[in-house]
Amino acid sequence: MPRLPVMFLALAAASPGCKGSGGAPGPGGVPVKIEVARSVSVRESTEYVATLRSRASAAIRPEVEGKITEILVRPGARVSSGTPLMQIDQAKQQATLESQQDMLAAKRAGLEYARQQHQRVSRLAASGVTSRQDLDQAQAALDAAQAELAALEAQVREQQVQLHYHTVAAPTAGIVGDIPARVGDRVTADTTLTTVDQAGGLEAYVSVPVERAPQLRRGLPVQILDAAGTLLAETRVSFVSPQVDEATQTVLVKAKIDEGHELRPSQLIRARLVWGTFEGPLVPVLAVSRISGQHFAFVAEQDQGNLVARQKALRVGEIVGGDYVVLEGIKPGDQVIVSGTQFLVDGVPVSPQT
């Protein structure tokens, strides 16, 4: 018999003849206030946490191997194309270049001597003093000296280019990313020194639960919001992944963000996907109760000439002002009970109050 008091209270609340203060039912039923559910045009949307990625991010790696001697910029700095970022030790390369330049001077002197010898033998051959063989040998020596000089000049140019690579420069204008390297570190061509991200070339990466995948499409409206909910940018879905992430069971969605916003790569922001617009009823928040995760509201309906309360299970959407957008459970025109709901059970008579 432990449940008898609870049953008794429920029957007492349902009895139209029960009297009491504080909104208890009177002869005409429980006094309640009623509002007619009105239909409005609302947008169905969902907010997700998105990560900003750069569409034009250049990974900076050295062209040569060596030790970092100087870092010329700081993370987050805005740089133009060609701005020096770091300096790699060039002492060895400089010594090699200077050695080849000395050899180049010697080769030029040798070429000049071979040219003079060729001219001298040519004059003697014309006078019949020397043989044709001597002239051919002089010509061969001249040709060899010219070839050796050309080869060494090519090597010097190559060394000059290599020396230029010891200064790591920005390939494009943008924002310098993190710099994990430090002065004194030895780097190779596989070492990532930093990144340069072009301003404005951002995309929002949004992971959408797979249950929503059938609704995803290119062109779906996306609103970018800050932490306070302020609208920063409006864009549209530009990419929908054809695959599902096995670990998170989500689908990757991308949306491009135009320039003119103070946003940075790798920043976490809020992205609101707008699924569509529909006509739906609004119900005051105070009229809705939640039990075990399910939303409910009472609606006044006619039953054999009496106005009674009927409990309705709801599926609600966003809160607009002080009202819930109802997706299922109540239709426009229903008489929603907005006060006195604490005294109501399903089927109890109610009396509308002004």
What is the C-alpha separation between 148 and 136, in angstroms, rounded? 18
Position with higher pLDDT, 249 vs 202: 249
Integer Rg of the chain from CA: 42
pLDDT of residue 261: 67
- What average pLDDT score do residues 226-240 get? 90
- Please say if the pLDDT value at position 1 is more than 80: no
- Please say if the pLDDT value at position 23 is more than 60: no
- Please say if the pLDDT value at position 25 is more than 60: no
Phi, psi at 210, each rounded to 5°: -65, -25
pLDDT of residue 260: 62
The CATH number of the domain covering residues in 47-56+200-277: 2.40.30.170
Position with higher pLDDT, 318 vs 245: 245
Long-range pairs for 87-93: beta carbons < 8 A, 24 or more residues apart: 87/166, 87/167, 87/168, 88/62, 88/64, 88/165, 88/166, 88/167, 88/168, 88/187, 89/166, 90/66, 90/163, 90/166, 92/66, 93/64, 93/159, 93/162, 93/163, 93/166
Q: Read off the pLDDT band of 7 (50, 70, 90).
A: very low
pLDDT tens-digit map of 173-215: 888 888 998 999 999 989 999 988 876 678 999 999 999 999 9
**What number of other Cβ atoms are within 10 A of residue 240's Cβ?**
15
pLDDT tens-digit map of 257-285: 876 667 877 889 999 999 888 778 888 88
pTM over 0.75: no
**What number of other Cβ atoms are within 10 A of residue 194's Cβ?**
21
pLDDT tens-digit map of 81-125: 999 999 999 888 888 888 888 898 899 999 999 999 899 888 888
Per-domain residue ranges of the chain: 4-42+278-352, 47-56+200-277, 58-194
- State which fold the 4-42+278-352 domain adopts: 2.40.420
For residue 277 the two structure tokens come to 């617009």
- Please say if the pLDDT value at position 310 is more than 80: yes
The CATH number fitting domain 58-194, selected from 3.40.50.970, 3.40.50.2300, 2.40.50.100, 3.40.640.10: 2.40.50.100
pLDDT of residue 56: 75
